Chain A
Amino acid sequence: MALPALHWRLLPPVFLGTNTASALMDAIYTMGTSTVYADGSARSPGTFSSPGTASLPASVGTGSAWTWNFDNTTFATGAKTCCYAYPPTTTAINQTIIVGCTSSVTGATWLQAQSDTRSANAIYSGCAKGTGVYTSWNTAGTPFTSGNFTGFAQTGFPGLGFNQVFMLESEEAVLLIFGRSNGVTHMTCLGAFVDPLSANTLNAETDGRLYGYTTTGVGNGTTTGGTAGPWMSFGGVATDAVPFWNMTTATTAHFGLFTPGAGTILLAQRFGSFTPASTTQSRNGDIPGVPFQITTTAGTYLGQLRQMLITRESASAGQALQTTAGIKGYTYSASTIGSSDTLLLQY
């Protein structure tokens, strides 16, 4: 049986006044505490009794709204260095997602995903399951009092020229897109975004989910880095970045899901190769939604992305695809300004 359908919502995008680590963290926190979505509909996140102080949420959000907190003491920069969030959906597995970025890495010891280097001014993200209260993200284990953590994987860094941040959230997963001034995007998706389509405990956690992360990585960190345009047919090279694809090279694309019932990571990748085009649609204008399957890098089937579908090429996030009935979903693709391979996140 398939898991409950997720409903993806777009937060009001933040356009960065300054392209710094703290500005990126501020942008994420601003979006995460918004009481309205980009389409004008109301959003109801939960609350922390004392924002900035580690605790469990005093209340959790409703609908698709996650509840965000921040840490502005680690690394003693005087600014936010990480933001973390608890989902509105409660299952047998508690999960928390976390994004960090700091101008200082003095004494950095955080847990690395696949040995990604610890760098200043780089965006890192990870997912934890079985979590408790936040402690610190600069620890060798989980940033929380209990549970398992994927480790931090690098998604990008301000030196690449970020000028906007998009956040899409659903009941059980969050997708962040960092847009550069040249239109190139970097992405990380965190949470229970893969449906194993099986309740067997070898295939799924006790709540039927799989938890994990994917990131495009930073590629070669130049103007050609970031999400590869034809990423749905791309096998990945170290100089470019491929969503939903794992590469072993540090700071490149990573994709990992927790082994059910354990803290180890199953390295994952897209199943199949696709070459959609702007013409991949029906002649009455309907846009398609083709399910996206995931296997381990060794080929074992893991599951299907949840309400994230292959669709016709379009420009990136913030683009709402509409029908006469309303918003059909939001897009994520390789560029904010040009047409490229696109994922539709269903509304």
Chain B
Amino acid sequence: MPLPTLNWRRLAPVTLAANTVNDMLDAIYTAGTAATYANGSTRTPGVDCAWTWSRDTTNALQTGATTATWGTPPTTFTGPGVTNPGTVIPQTVIWAGSTAAPTNTLQYTSTTSDARLANIIYVGQCKNPGAYANWNTATPFTTGQFTGFATAAPVPSAAVWGQMQMYESQEAVVVQFWRSAANVQTASSIAGAFIDPNSSSALVSETDGRLYGLSSSGSNNYNSATFLSATSDALFHEASVSTNSRCGFCSPGTATINGLRRFGSFTPGAGTVLTNGEIPLLPCYAASISTFTVSRLREIFIVRDLLASQRIQVGGVDYAYILGANWQTTAADALALKV
């Protein structure tokens, strides 16, 4: 049976105070503590789709600045149009980084380990987490199974990041950075229970039927404008190369990483619409590199070429938000996060 439906929400874009890794993290924290969504609807952390965020400004790596921010999923579900996910494994998602290179972080590893670099933002996910301890250790949370940190975006000095866009659902969070000025590119990362293995077998899924993990476009490149047909270094593609794109989940009950890759190669265009102009949302699947699972990405759909700044509305009501490779100017490969 498919897992409960996720309902995605868009936070208001946050303009970075400055083009630094600390300001990238502050932008996530700012979005995560907002009282309203991008469409003006009320947001209450801990309720429905809204995660609860904390941050670390006292880490010895770089004191006095934000070097980590982490979120815990909502536990109260009262809103109309929001599916109650039921009993799930506790989790935390975390983004981290500092002007000093981390020295003791647990590195995300699938064939290769992601390098520990200064000024790079990282993403990680932890099942059954204890209290936050220190992101620059092998156990950022006192207990739990942690994916390790994967690079989440190219270094600010090269990219010149201007805005951060966050999307959240009951069980997963997406963070996307947009380059400033005339640049159109983005970098994306996602963490949480966004993988539906469509199986309750203990060999294939956690005890709650989910798979927990992360996906990132990496720090080596921006999102490719053709990432839905790319076979290397692309969102939802485990490249198995340090700082390239990563996509993996922890084996049920463990922290062992299994790489995932988008199943199928797609070349949608602006014309990938129905005859009457409606935009179809096409399911997106991912297969493990090893024989482990073929899974559906939860309420994440392939759509016609669009911009990350766009949304799909039906009857004036938000229907889906676009996770696109480009955020302005030229529509390119994109995914839709269904409301």
B35 sits at the interface (CB 8 A): no
When C-beta atoms are compared, the residue in chain B nearest to A197 turns out to be B280
Let me know if A284 and B272 touch, CB within 8 A.
no
Let me know if A290 and B203 touch, CB within 8 A.
no
Q: List B147-206 residues whose CB lies under 8 Å from chain A.
A: 197-199, 201, 203-204
In whole angstroms, what is the CA distance A272 to B228 when docked?
A: 9
In whole angstroms, what is the CA distance A202 to B276 when docked?
A: 6
Let me know if B265 and A273 touch, CB within 8 A.
yes
Let me know if A282 and B271 touch, CB within 8 A.
no
B133 sits at the interface (CB 8 A): no
Let me know if B265 and A282 touch, CB within 8 A.
no
- Stretch in A80-88, A293-301, A331-339 with 4+ CB within 8 Å of B: A293-301
In whole angstroms, what is the CA distance A260 to B274 when docked?
A: 12
In whole angstroms, what is the CA distance A233 to B287 when docked?
A: 16
When C-beta atoms are compared, the residue in chain A nearest to B276 turns out to be A202
Chain A residues closer than 8 Å to B334, beta-carbon distance: none
Let me know if A198 and B278 touch, CB within 8 A.
yes
Most chain A CB atoms below 10 A, which of B274, B275, B290: B275
In whole angstroms, what is the CA distance A295 to B269 when docked?
A: 11
Q: List A165-186 residues whose CB lies under 8 Å from chain B.
A: none
In whole angstroms, what is the CA distance A276 to B285 when docked?
A: 12
Let me know if A202 and B274 touch, CB within 8 A.
yes
A203 sits at the interface (CB 8 A): yes
Let me know if B285 and A282 touch, CB within 8 A.
no
Size range of the interface on B? 20 to 34
Let me know if B274 and A284 touch, CB within 8 A.
no
In whole angstroms, what is the CA distance A271 to B282 when docked?
A: 10
Q: How far is the CB of B234 from chain A (nearest CB, A)?
A: 15
Q: Which of B198, B268, B274, B283 contacts A196 (CB 8 A)?
A: B274
A200 sits at the interface (CB 8 A): yes
Q: How far is the CB of B265 from chain A (nearest CB, A)?
A: 4
Residues of A contacting B: mostly: loop
In whole angstroms, what is the CA distance A253 to B198 when docked?
A: 34
In whole angstroms, what is the CA distance A295 to B283 when docked?
A: 15
In whole angstroms, what is the CA distance A211 to B164 when docked?
A: 46
Contact A279:B291 (CB < 8 A) given known A203-B278, A274-B264, A301-B280: yes
Let me know if A282 and B294 touch, CB within 8 A.
yes
Q: How far is the CB of B12 from chain A (nearest CB, A)?
A: 31
Chain A residues closer than 8 Å to B264, beta-carbon distance: 272-274, 290
B132 sits at the interface (CB 8 A): no
Q: How far is the CB of B279 from chain A (nearest CB, A)?
A: 8
Contact flags A278-294 to B (C-beta < 8 A → 1, else 0) = 01111110101011010
Contact flags B280-301 to A (C-beta < 8 A → 1, else 0) = 1011010100111110000000
Q: List B226-266 residues whose CB lies under 8 Å from chain A.
A: 229, 263-266
Chain A residues closer than 8 Å to B273, beta-carbon distance: 300-301
In whole angstroms, what is the CA distance A200 to B198 when docked?
A: 31
Contact A284:B203 (CB < 8 A) given known A272-B264, A273-B265, A290-B264: yes
Contact A200:B278 (CB < 8 A) given known A282-B292, A284-B199: yes
Let me know if A290 and B276 touch, CB within 8 A.
no
* Chain A residues near B (Cβ < 8 Å): 196-198, 200, 202-203, 233, 260, 271-274, 276, 279-284, 286, 288, 290-291, 293, 295, 298-302
Going nearest first, the 10 A-B pairs with the smallest beta carbon separation are A288-B294, A202-B276, A284-B203, A284-B201, A273-B265, A272-B264, A299-B271, A279-B291, A202-B275, A200-B276
Given contacts A271-B282, A281-B294, A295-B272, 13 further A-B contacts (CB under 8 A): A202-B274, A274-B265, A280-B291, A283-B204, A283-B292, A284-B203, A284-B204, A288-B294, A290-B263, A293-B280, A299-B271, A300-B274, A302-B274
Interchain residue pairs with CB less than 8 A apart (20): A197-B280, A203-B274, A272-B264, A273-B229, A274-B264, A279-B291, A282-B197, A282-B201, A282-B203, A282-B293, A283-B203, A283-B290, A283-B292, A283-B293, A286-B204, A288-B294, A290-B283, A291-B282, A299-B269, A300-B275
